[in-house]
Amino acid sequence: MVAQRLALTLVLVWLGAGAAAAADVANGRQIVLHGNGHGATPCVACHGADGAGIADVAYPRLAGQQAAYLRKQLHDFRNGLRNSEVMQLFAKALSGAEIRDVAAYYAAQPAHGTHEIADRALIGAGRQLAERSDWDRNLPPCFSCHGPRGVGVGGDFPLLAGQHAQYIEKQLLAWKRGTRDNDPDQLMKTVAQRLGEPDIKGVAAYFASLNPAPAQRITLNDSRPAGGPR
Amino acid sequence: MSGCRTGGLRRRLAWVAAAVAGLAALPHSAAAGTAAGFVPPAESQMPGGSRGRLIRLGEQLFVHSSALRGKYVGNGLSCNDCHLGRGRHADAAPMWAAYAAYPASLGPAQRADRLAGRIQACFVFSMNGTAPPKHSRAVRALVAYARWLATGAPAGVSLPGRGYPNLPPPSAGPDPARGKKVYADKCAICHGRDGAGQRAGTAIVFPPLWGKDSFNWGGGMHRIDTAAAFIKANMPLGQPNSLSDRQAWDVAAYMDRHERPQDPRYAGDLEDTRRSFHDHDCLYGRSVDGRRLGAHASGKPYDPWQLR
C-alpha cells in the first residue's frame, strides 16, 4: 500500500514536473489580453491579440515567430541586454514562466501577413541582397541564416517574412549604430555594419512584402537556452 | 554481366577523377587575403536561349543540390556550402578559378570534360552520392554554369582567389581540445552542438559538418589543412579572417574527430584504404577516444555507386 502510494506520488510529481516545463498557452493568452496583474501591461495594446503589431510605429509582428527567439528577446529586455524602455519595464514584470507562456502564445498565432507592397524596384533590390547578396562586400545573403524567404531557423535566426518594413529597418539601423547588440557572436551586427541605408530600406521592403510561409519549421538543434550566454 | 564490367570501368574512371579531385582540393599557395582580380559576369549578363537555360539550371543545382537527393546526392549538402556565393566568391573555391586552371593546350572540349569528371567526383565524395553520367543534364548544366562564370578568364592560369588561401599549420600542431571550445563559441550556433546543421522546414540552411548527412571520408573537406584554410577565410559567415590561424586549425582538427560516411574507396580493409588514399592531414583510420574513425562499415562489402 505504502509502496503503491509512493509510486503514485512519484508519478504525480513526474507529471507535475512535465507540466511545469511545458508552456501554458492559455496563461500566455491571459497575459497578452489582460496583463499579469503585477506590473506587466497587456501586450495586446501594441502587438495585438493576433500578434500583428503596428507597422507605422514599428511595433513588430510576433505571430508565428519562433518561441525560443521570443523568449530570448524577453529575457534580454529583462536583463538589460536589449534596449527599449517600454519592453524592459514589461519584461521585468514577467516571471520566467510567464515569458515562456507569452512566447508560446504568440508563436502559436498563424503567421498570416498583410504583405506590404512598396516600390517594386526597392523590393527587387532587397530581394537581390536577401537571396544572393554581395560577397564582394563580404555580405552573406539573408537567406543563408534566416532560411529561404526568411522563414526563420531555430531560436536564434528569427522569422522575417511578413515583418513590418519599419521594424526591420529600425532594427538594422540599431545594429549598425551599435544601439542593439544582443545577437549571438555579433553575427547580425557585423552584417548590418556593412549595409548602406538604401540596402536596409531594400531588404526591409522585401521581407515585408512576403506573405509569411506557414509555420513549418523543423529544428534539428534547439538553440542555447533562453536567457543563457549570448 | 556487361553491367558489372561497365560498373567496374566507371569505378576506375571515378578514381582517376578522384585523384585529380584530390589535387584540385589542395589549398592553393597564394598568400592569404589576396584580392581576386577576376570578376565573373553579372547575373544580368546570362545568355538567353537553350544555353542560358542550361546555365540557369546549373546555377539552381549548384545552390539547391538537394533537388538531386536520392538520385545523385546522398547527403544534406549543396555545392554552394563549400563554394560560397554560388561559386563566385574568391577564396571560397570559386568555380571560375577551377575552370580557368585547366591547361589551355587541352582545348575547350577537353577542359570541359576534365571539369565534368571533377564534378562527378564531387558527387561521389563531397555529396556522398553517386556520379551522374558525364553527359547527363545535371553534369552538363553544372559545367555550363562554371564555364559561364569563367567568361573572359585566361586558360591554364591559377587565378588569385582560387581554392582556399593556404594556411600554415601551427608549429605545435593543432589542438582539438581547444578546437572544441572554438566550435562551441563560434560554430555551434549555426551548425548545432552535434554538428548536424539546422533546417527550415525541409530546406537545410546550415550544412551538417559531420555525421550521416555530411560529406564522406573522401570529400576534400575531411582534410584538416583544407578545412582550416576554408574556415579561416570564410567562417563564421560574414566574418572572414576573424578567427586566428590557430583557432582555424584547432577547430578543423576538432571537426575531423567525428565520424562521417565511409570513404567510397573502402574495400574492407581500413588500414589499406588509409594507406592508399589518406596520406595527408586527416584522422581517417586513426583512433579517437578509443574508436577508430572509419571503422563503422567494416566487413560490409561496399559499392560506392550505391552509397547513401
For chain B, say whether A215 makes contact (Cβ under 8 Å): no
Q: Which of B120, B150, B144 is nearest to B134 (CA)?
A: B120
Residue B251 in contact with residue B213, Cβ under 8 Å? no
Which triple of cell numbers denotes residue B17? 577523377
Task: Tell the residue number behind the cell numbers 529597418, with chain if given.
Answer: A169
Residues B62, B79 contacting (CB under 8 angstroms): yes
Lowest-confidence segment of A6-15, A71-80, B46-55 by average pLDDT: A6-15
Prediction pTM value: 0.84
Residue among B269, B274, B264, B271 nearest B305 (CA): B264
Q: Considering CB atoms only, which of B186, B194, B236 is closest to A221? A: B194
Contacts of residue A153 in chain B, CB cutoff 8 Å?
198-200, 205-206
Rounded percentage of chain A residues whose pLDDT exceeds 70: 81
**pLDDT in the model for residue A78:** 97
Side-chain half-sphere of B122: how many Cα atoms within 13 Å?
25
On whether any CB of chain B is under 8 Å from the CB of A145, the answer is yes
More confident residue, B31 or A119: A119
Q: If you average pLDDT over residues A50-55, what whole number do you get?
A: 94
Give yes or no for residue A136 having a pLDDT over 50: yes
- The confidence score (pLDDT) of residue A217 equals 41
Name the band, by pLDDT with cuts 50, 70 and 90, for residue A21: low
Check CB contact under 8 Å for A213 and B193: no
The closest of A102, A81, A84, A100 to A35, measured between CA atoms, is: A102
* A185 to A158, A188, B159: CA distances (angstroms): 15, 8, 33
Q: For the ranges A21-25, A102-106, B86-90, B148-152, which has the lowest average pLDDT?
A: A21-25
Written as one string, the DSSP assignment of A184-199 is GGGHHHHHHHT--HHH
Distance CA B155, CA B143 (A): 15
Q: Does A56 have pLDDT greater than 90? A: yes
Q: What is the ipTM of this complex?
A: 0.81
A72-76, A163-167, A213-217, B240-244: which range is least confident on average? A213-217
Q: Which regions of chain B are under pLDDT 50? A: 1-34, 36, 298-308
Select from B43, B190, B201 the Cβ nearest to the Cβ of A218: B201
- Whether pLDDT at A96 is above 90: yes
Measured N-to-C along each axis, helices B107-124 and B2-24 cross at an angle, to the nearest 10 degrees, of 100
> Which residues, 6 or more positions from B286, have their beta carbon under 8 angstroms from its beta carbon?
B292, B293
- Say which residue, A174 or B267, is predicted with more confidence: A174
Mean pLDDT over A168-177 rounds to: 97
